[in-house]
Amino acid sequence: MAKPSLAVWKFASCDGCQLSLLDLEDELLAVADGIDIAHFPEATTAHRGGPYDVSLVEGSITTPADLTRIQEIRAQSGMLVAIGACATTGGIQALRNLADIDEFVRVVYARPAYIQTLATSTAIADHVKVDLELAGCPINKYQLLEVVQALLVGRKPTLPTYSVCVECKERGTSCVMVADGVACLGPITRAGCGAICPAFARGCYGCFGPSESPNVDSLAAWWDELGVARPDLVRALRTFNVNAPQFKEASTRYAQE
């Protein structure tokens, strides 16, 4: 059986999610043994043309050129996996969706006319069919490995959609919200990171995006009781997954209150 071919693509992003592949130090060579890395510019100058069995797509759609490139990638890919918060919800750069893009350009660039950009930063699935999404800013490299392994044997990868709290309890961390009164987004955030923030004595700030059934209003009411000001809550929801529907909807309501 021929090895499945893999291509890695990048849109607006920090490169961290694709770096996760190279961060699999112990498994990288085995991965390279099992799959044919056909296009991965961050790692190799070798390049083989499509079609590809699997494409990993990092980053969000932010420029006019992106709009056509993502269509081309979709057309050459058997399975398209969107990796990371940028690719699955638009990432932190989707904060522009709430602002005036011209002003954003002016703030950063001396000659705005040189800059070609869209007014919004959007997820890959807003443009083409996505077969699988890996949440996280950044993704968890072991989830990426799980996807590769599952792919190779043809099973559904095990990717949790429940809340960070489950991982928090699994590792035996005491709840920072209950024990320390620290505002934590864990109860409405998707597991996957291993609940590292509470383990480091801070509240989760939501980098894996909304969990499968997030009750944002209930948590917001509790944050009120903890003394968190509403603008602070709004910003907490508007960070790495600002454009995720549940966070966007709730934060828009709170911002208007």
From another protein, ligand SF4, none, interface partner of 117 (C-beta below 5 to 8 A by class): another protein
Please identify, using beta-carbon distances, which residue of 101 and 175 lies nearer to ligand SF4: 175
Residue 86 near ligand SF4 by CB under 6 A: no
Please identify, using beta-carbon distances, which residue of 87 and 177 lies nearer to ligand SF4: 177
- Which residues within the stretch 69-88 sit at the binding site for another protein (CB under 8 A)? none
Write out the H or E segment, with its range, that includes residue 5. Answer: strand 5-10
* Spatial separation of the C-alpha atoms in residues 237 and 42, rounded to whole Å: 32
Write out the H or E segment, with its range, that includes residue 225. Answer: helix 216-226
Encoded one letter per residue, x for contact with ligand SF4 by CB under 6 A and - for no contact, window 163-192 reads: -xx--x------xxx------x-xx-x---
Q: Which of 81, 193, 244, 250 binds ligand SF4 (CB under 6 A)?
A: 193
CA-wise closest residue to 21 among 33, 9, 31, 11: 31
* CA contacts within 13 A on the Cβ side of 237: 31
Beta bridge partners of 47: 39
Which residues touch 33 (CB under 8 Å, ≥6 apart)?
none
CA-wise closest residue to 203 among 244, 174, 242: 174
Q: Which residue has 């790495």 as its token pair?
A: 240
Secondary structure (3-state) at 250: helix
Residue 244 near ligand SF4 by CB under 6 A: no
Residue 21 near ligand SF4 by CB under 6 A: no
The window from 31-39, 40-48, 99-107, 202-210 that contacts ligand SF4 (CB under 6 A) reads 202-210
From another protein, ligand SF4, none, interface partner of 72 (C-beta below 5 to 8 A by class): none
Residue 1 near another protein by CB under 8 A: no
- Which residues within the stretch 205-244 sit at the binding site for another protein (CB under 8 A)? 205, 207, 211-215, 217-219, 221-222, 232, 235, 239-240
